[in-house]
Amino acid sequence: MKVYFAAFEALPFVKTGGLADVVGSLPSYYDKKIEVTTILPFYHFLKEKLLDKTQHLVHLYVKSGILEEECDVYTLQHAGTEYRFIDSPTFFDRNGIYGYEDDAARFAFFGAAVIEMMCRLEEFPDIIHTHDYHTAPLIALCKLGKHHVERVYAIKHVFTIHNLSFQGVYDKQILFDYLDLDREDYDNGTLRFNDGINYMKIGIVLADAVTTVSKTYAREILEPSGGQGLDTVLQYRQDDLYGIVNGIDESFFNPKSSFVRYPYSIRNVFKEKKKNKLFLQQELGLEEGEDIFLVGMVSRLTSQKGIELLINGAERMIRQGVEIAVLGTGETRLEYALKTLCRKFPGRIAYTCGYNERLAHQMYAGLDMLLMPSLYEPCGLSQLIAMHFGTVPFVRETGGLRDTVEAFNEYTDSGTGFSFGPYNQTDFNHVFDYAYEQYLDHPDRWHKIVRSGMKKDVSFAEPAAEYEKVYRKVTGNEEV
């Protein structure tokens, strides 16, 4: 079976979120029965680093509606997977990925270029696995486009929703100007969203199967409270909707990594984590002490991530003897609030604005507990990384956090972390106090939670097997 992955980001080349981890990691978990080719735009910053390492594959003339553009496709083998980069000076020769005024045209052009590439090479995969709304135009062009190539129409499509909050809502004229689709498909509601179009809706409606990144999130988005305006569309497709939890690249996110000052494994986790905590405290200017309860966040600073609960509870936590470390960037008001707390409580809270991979690894290695009190979370990766590093996750019971973190139960003496339900300060504080009590008064329980988390399989092995089942279903093949 031949599968194309179509995406706008993938590790190790370009990343803004968990989407890149999935696209970059999944292919290595398939055996030779599934051959994956990953297709990405060739951004300016990628060309600067990779052009000399790639081979030119084909020159294309792409026409879709009023879009007429020449581009080139380059190929590169990495970790057993072929990557193809679409080089369009007009649409992709930029140092950013998203957020441009012509995004609707850029995403449409990407889809048209993939089809033209297939036709020129006479290479037609069994499945195209598209990721998030940026790639949904590719599905529409394959299924409804005017290319008149039967082998393109026959391709099956799997569409993964990584975050329903970002949808790509545009004027309806985009359909005709850039995708050259029939007005009938707009008028009958297939492609219409209110008085315009929605790329995310197009992917959901037209794909043969729709997946999202956790089982709980797959249920949540069927409700008005979680469906972001697309709940009725998703209800229509719920028989073809699958929740598949993400994993992490354990070879990269590894407590034995060179990023970690004192590498360790489950065999010496408690001894070495104390050393890593002291090193982290020193680096961040916090009061040093191996028995101080050090908690923190490695996160984008947005309301989605629940950072307000930490900010509002920080003074209370600090007065209890807790230290806090935060790494991330995002909304200005949240950055300002954290900086204010640092001035008020020097040596007890540290905030590093931005993102640093080495520091992120060191925080996973040095923290006692990672906070992820998200308002909503399609899947989340930080809690998986934390468990793999022996850092206990503290999460809200939503989306993938609920699916991946087993709340500690003192009566069964089981669990891999702590969780709270309703999104409010009272519940956050109550469960945080309970976790702190376990750390202070029940070290044997704490150590068992740490070990349980480290033993959990957080790789992409199980997700890859689940995606393979979806591939089998859409192609009608029980044996791949």
Is the pLDDT confidence value at 164 over 70? Answer: yes
185 is a domain residue: yes
Residues 273, 236 share a domain: no
For the domain that residue 433 is a member of, what is the CATH number? 3.40.50.2000
Mean pLDDT of 181-197: 93
User: Per the structure, how many domains does the chain have?
Assistant: 2
Residues 281, 178 share a domain: no
Residues 79, 191 share a domain: yes
How open is the CA angle 332-334-335, to the nearest 5 degrees? 65
221 is a domain residue: yes
Residues 239, 294 share a domain: no
The model's pLDDT over 238-251, given as tens digits with 9 standing for 90+, comes to: 999 999 999 999 98
Cα–Cα distance for residue pair 63/296, rounded to 1 Å? 50
Per-residue pLDDT at 180: 93
376 is a domain residue: yes
**Which has the closest alpha carbon to 128: 162, 171, 90, 160?**
160
Q: Any residues with CB less than 8 A from the CB of 363 and at least 6 apart, and which?
A: 280, 296, 298, 325, 327
419 is a domain residue: yes
Is the pLDDT confidence value at 16 over 80? Answer: yes
Residues 427, 469 share a domain: no
Q: What is the radius of gyration, based on Cα positions, of the chain? A: 23
Across 182-320, where does the E strand assignment appear?
A: 196-198, 209-212, 241-243, 294-298
Per-residue pLDDT at 321: 98
The letter for the amino acid at 397 is: E
Q: Which of 20-34, 53-67, 99-113, 128-142 has the lowest mean pLDDT?
A: 20-34
44 is a domain residue: yes
In contact, 158 and 127? CB cutoff 8 Å: yes
257 is a domain residue: no
Mean pLDDT of 380-403: 97
146 is a domain residue: yes
Residues 94, 39 share a domain: yes
Is the pLDDT confidence value at 316 over 50? Answer: yes
Confidence of residue 84 (pLDDT cuts 50, 70, 90): very high
Q: What is the mean pLDDT of the chain?
A: 96
Mean pLDDT of 327-347: 97
Residues 278, 162 share a domain: no
Residues 164, 91 share a domain: yes
Is the pLDDT confidence value at 479 over 80? Answer: no
Per-residue pLDDT at 291: 96
Domain that holds residue 412: 269-455
Tokens of 381: 């990766």
Mean pLDDT of 121-132: 98
Confidence of residue 355 (pLDDT cuts 50, 70, 90): confident
Residues 276, 170 share a domain: no
Confidence of residue 480 (pLDDT cuts 50, 70, 90): very low
Per-residue pLDDT at 32: 80
Is the pLDDT confidence value at 346 over 90? Answer: yes
The model's pLDDT over 438-453, given as tens digits with 9 standing for 90+, comes to: 999 999 999 999 999 9
Percentage of the chain surpassing pLDDT 90? 95
Is the pLDDT confidence value at 276 over 70? Answer: yes
Residues 339, 289 share a domain: yes
Per-residue pLDDT at 335: 97
The CA-based diameter of the chain, rounded to the nearest angstrom, is 70
Residues 237, 276 share a domain: no
List alpha helices for 78-157, DSSP H. 103-121, 136-144, 150-153
254 is a domain residue: no
Residues 465, 362 share a domain: no
